[in-house]
Structure 1
């Protein structure tokens, strides 16, 4: 099934993990994919892998913390593909919490919010005119269950919750202009961010009703669904893709058993 034949798609943070899996999924369904990342060399590696599989992909260096870098990447993608139909906001920053909340430094808080939330804002602002012009524009942001419940990481969680709010307000603004805006909220996903922590992933797997943590491909499937014509009457929603984590508390049940 090639739902994105002729589409131009831009994905941030696409060099690895969820972003890379999403880039591969879009390309496999016919899209021309702009693989963007602050690590341009890693982005090119992902794009090259897509091309080796017969897909169409170009890599662009993009620092979502810079308005100039974002606007240049959007312009380059539009010039390369002749259009932009889908924006996927996937780039994020997540610093460990200080032991005590009152010891959290301002710069750590500011960076998590700037990359994760304000970075998505910068990308939406730059891409929106092109998404409107496409006549089938869609924005899908990658949030987190951290934006829905408490799983730690104060700044990251606040930024992901903010993405949910931005999704709703932008959906109301962009809907009459023909652009849909949605968000996917993943649970724990086996990405390079968990490298060397396999035991921790195994430990939390039992807290998921479906008995496992997620894979990047699980999130890519949800992102492409929300970006596709199959979701033509869906906008402004947050879709948890979390193996049932936010719908059930297995740890609590186990303690009562």
Structure 2
């Protein structure tokens, strides 16, 4: 299938706008690109193709700023990312066996659970123990494979702690750069990865790059309490949009 001719122009324009908007939110909050982008892409693509396309875009934008992410991330980010790589294939296999309607329901529940998690009181800055960190990695890996969304367990892990904003953002972004490799590798092994998605991702990438840059600049001018409130608003909006789509 030729991905550049299989869809109407309005669908490609919608994908471009979604790529820009979700990347802006990523630059502003440190997360949110996949959570916002996958449901919109799924309007034009199959759920599997939407996840894989989001994976390509997450890798492209993450590699464009990898030096800054490695320098600023907490050590726990490497642990979580490693576990994600090991467990994501299980989530992707589950996605390949699930009907689109069920997959969309689960994606909506994932987004809603992340919103509830950030409402909890902030915890001390100290890194949680290995059990908690490992659990975040496992759940994030399953969500990476199933919905292309490693964020729901990762965001509360960092944003919910009293650590510097830039440390939280760099840690989340590093995980979100590494995690998609597992999804793409699994898709290739299962022979459901259409490599034309990489070309489509390249076509959308300029919008992602610009949106991410503008969002990062806006983040630098935003007070920390406002930033954390915006994180909750983004998660709430993603959950609401996902549930509305089910109706």
Q: What is the TM-score of this pair, normalised by structure 1?
A: 0.28
Q: Which structure has greater helix proportion?
A: 2
Q: Greater relative contact order: 1 or 2 (C-alpha under 8 angstroms, separation 6 or more)? A: 2
Q: Which structure has greater strand proportion?
A: 1
Structure number, greater radius of gyration: 1
Q: What is the TM-score of this pair, normalised by structure 2?
A: 0.29
